[in-house]
A and B are shown apart, each in its own frame.
Chain A
Amino acid sequence: MNVIEVEAVSKAFRIPSVHRNTVREHVLGVLEPRRFEQLQVLDRVSFSVAPGEALGIMGRNGGGKSTLLKIVCSVYQPDSGRVVRRAAITPILELGLGWNPELDAIDNVCLFGSVMGLTLREIRQRMDRILEFAELERFANLKLKHYSSGMSSRLGYAVAFEAARDVLVLDEIFAVGDAGFRAKCEERFRSLHAAGHTVVLVSHDPRSVGEFCDRALLLEGGRIAMDGRAKDVSQEYLSLLNRTPEAAVHA
């Protein structure tokens, strides 16, 4: 049985002719009705993910990838359609979410780990492993504001991988870190996949999708333009980049 089933999911955002974000603007504009434009970001998108499968999602900017990912993770609600989840999902949409520069690495691991759904006991048990993976044992008590961006990213990866549940949903997270650490992360990613974790990966990088995913979707104009082997979809994505958006939708 599939762990994720997305059935005819649609999502549109209403774009007003005039933005009103305050009480004052609403009161003053009460006699001036606004016009709304519908921006259809996803249009009846359906797909499923099998247990242990690694699914890549590719597409141009504005193609609806991030919105789809947020709907799969319950961050956004669809306007119509439904999403069935039969396993616990760990969304990693941004590394080091909630980092506080005024706290040291240990407190930040607690913070990020808690946000990712780890219990305090799990965090305590895994703290040494997290710091070791991030190669930051010596700087555990240093405030994060003194860390380089690379050090913060390493810590973010380390916690995220420890928090992985049945299904991992990743948004462009292989784009940071030096070559050595990136290889280490890719190795960890492979071992998680080999251990049976299901993965949904959004990426612009054809190499990442082709190498790490079994299957991929190509999103264009809010619809699935292609659903197939990851390598084939990566190729199609590359050729899509050379086409105009209109031509791609009608292809």
Chain B
Amino acid sequence: MRASRGTKRSLVGAVTTGAESINPAAFGRDARAGLLWTLVRTDFKVRYHGTAGGFVWALLKPLTMFVMLMAVFSFVFGSDPNYKLDLIIGLFLWDFFAEGTKAGLTSLHSRGFLLSKARCPAWILVVTSISNAVITLVVFIGIMLAFLIWAGHPPSPASVGLFLIYCFALMLIVIGFSLATSVLFLRYRDLNQVWDLVTQVGFFVAPIIYPIGILPERFHFYLYLWAPTPVIQFARSVLVDGAAPTLTAHVYLAAAVGSSIAIGVWLYRKLGPRAAEYL
């Protein structure tokens, strides 16, 4: 007799029983792609009632925030001619981070019936939960670039390419976070409230509404430990200043992404197979 705790597990959750179990592919690649697409499409349809007008509401919150903050803080940081450009980049990337992590954290719980009554790959539920935040980010990228051009700072194609890589890095950070917290939330049901507090503090830790230069340099290291900070700063650097961060800075970002994904996958694989028992 063999205890199942030592069994081989996969991220897609295909093998969930004894070590010598055989589980013919119940969910092939096409079926996984179909499920992913269907969940994204129907989630979008339900949330925005299938209309472009409904989607506008999702854009209004950060846009309003941008207008209000720009109106107030332009007086405080009026000496910085690029303040409004830095603000729009910081705000929109932050909005993606906050909305994505919030949705990812509750993803398994909100679709718990699929965990406890069906055998579909649970990681798809986690990944698709951030789809609306991704769609919003894509629209925001268009708005950001248009705003930069309008403000007389048209970014070069290389800058845009680097910026898209940073956005992708942020998405991987959000996915890593979501994989970890989605399984933890099933055991700790107030984790969303804890995360609300963290993001509230995190909004001010990341240099979104203030230039990082106003803080003494010895504090910068601690600010960069907060995952959104390097992404926001690097994005500003390439889009506004037209200067690519150093190789060391990129290695740091890659390490942040790698550790986020590694911790997320590790926790998901450790706790995921028994997730249905906590619903």
Nearest B residue (CB) for A73: B119
Q: Say which residue of A77, A89, A97 sits within 8 Å of B4 (CB atoms).
A: A77
Known A22-B190, A77-B4, A93-B117; judge A83-B276 contact (CB<8 A).
no
Does A33 touch B at the CB level, under 8 Å? no
Does B226 touch A at the CB level, under 8 Å? no
Do the beta carbons of B17 and A74 come within 8 Å of each other? yes
Q: Say which residue of B2, B28, B34, B276 sits within 8 Å of A75 (CB atoms).
A: B276
Known A76-B277, A98-B113; judge A82-B17 contact (CB<8 A).
yes
Contacting residues, chain A, for B189 (C-beta < 8 A): 21-22
Does A223 touch B at the CB level, under 8 Å? no
Nearest A residue (CB) for B38: A114
Do the beta carbons of B114 and A81 come within 8 Å of each other? no
Chain A 62-97 near chain B by CB (<8 Å), digits 1 or 0 = 000000001101111111111111111111011001
Do the beta carbons of B46 and A116 come within 8 Å of each other? no
Which residues 1-52 in B have Cβ within 8 Å of A in the complex?
1-4, 7, 13-28, 30-31, 33-35, 37-39, 42, 45-46
Does A151 touch B at the CB level, under 8 Å? no
Do the beta carbons of A115 and B118 come within 8 Å of each other? yes
Does A226 touch B at the CB level, under 8 Å? no
Known A84-B20, A119-B28; judge A103-B34 contact (CB<8 A).
no
In Å, the complex CA distance between A34 and B35 comes to 41
Q: Say which residue of A26, A97, A123 sits within 8 Å of B34 (CB atoms).
A: A123
Q: Say which residue of A79, A82, A103 sits within 8 Å of B21 (CB atoms).
A: A82
Do the beta carbons of A119 and B30 come within 8 Å of each other? yes
Q: Say which residue of B16, B28, B35, B191 sits within 8 Å of A114 (CB atoms).
A: B35
Distance in Å: Cβ of A28 to nearest Cβ of chain B: 12
Distance in Å: Cβ of B36 to nearest Cβ of chain A: 9
Do the beta carbons of A94 and B117 come within 8 Å of each other? yes
Number of interface residues of B (CB under 8 A): 51
Q: Say which residue of B4, B23, B38, B115 sits within 8 Å of A110 (CB atoms).
A: B38
Q: Say which residue of A23, A77, A100 sits within 8 Å of B16 (CB atoms).
A: A77
Among B16, B46, B115, B194, the one with the most A-chain Cβ atoms within 10 Å of its Cβ is B16
Do the beta carbons of B17 and A117 come within 8 Å of each other? no
In Å, the complex CA distance between A115 and B125 comes to 11
Contacting residues, chain A, for B119 (C-beta < 8 A): 73-75, 89, 91, 117
Distance in Å: Cβ of B29 to nearest Cβ of chain A: 9
Q: Say which residue of B14, B34, B46 sits within 8 Å of A119 (CB atoms).
A: B34
In Å, the complex CA distance between A83 and B17 comes to 6
Does B116 touch A at the CB level, under 8 Å? yes
Do the beta carbons of A115 and B114 come within 8 Å of each other? yes
In Å, the complex CA distance between A47 and B16 comes to 19
Query: Which 6 pairs, one residue from A and one from B, show the smallest C-beta to C-beta distance?
Result: A82-B18, A22-B190, A120-B34, A74-B16, A119-B30, A114-B35
Q: Known A-B contacts: A74-B23, A90-B26, A116-B118. Give 9 more (CB < 8 A).
A: A80-B3, A81-B1, A82-B19, A91-B119, A97-B117, A98-B118, A114-B38, A115-B35, A165-B26
Interface residues of A (CB under 8 A from B): 7-8, 13, 21-24, 26, 70-71, 73-91, 93-94, 97-98, 100, 102-103, 107, 110-111, 114-121, 123, 165
Chain A to chain B contacts (Cβ below 8 Å), 21 pairs: A21-B187, A73-B119, A74-B13, A74-B14, A74-B16, A74-B23, A79-B4, A80-B2, A82-B4, A82-B21, A84-B18, A85-B24, A86-B22, A86-B24, A91-B119, A98-B111, A103-B45, A114-B35, A115-B114, A115-B120, A120-B38
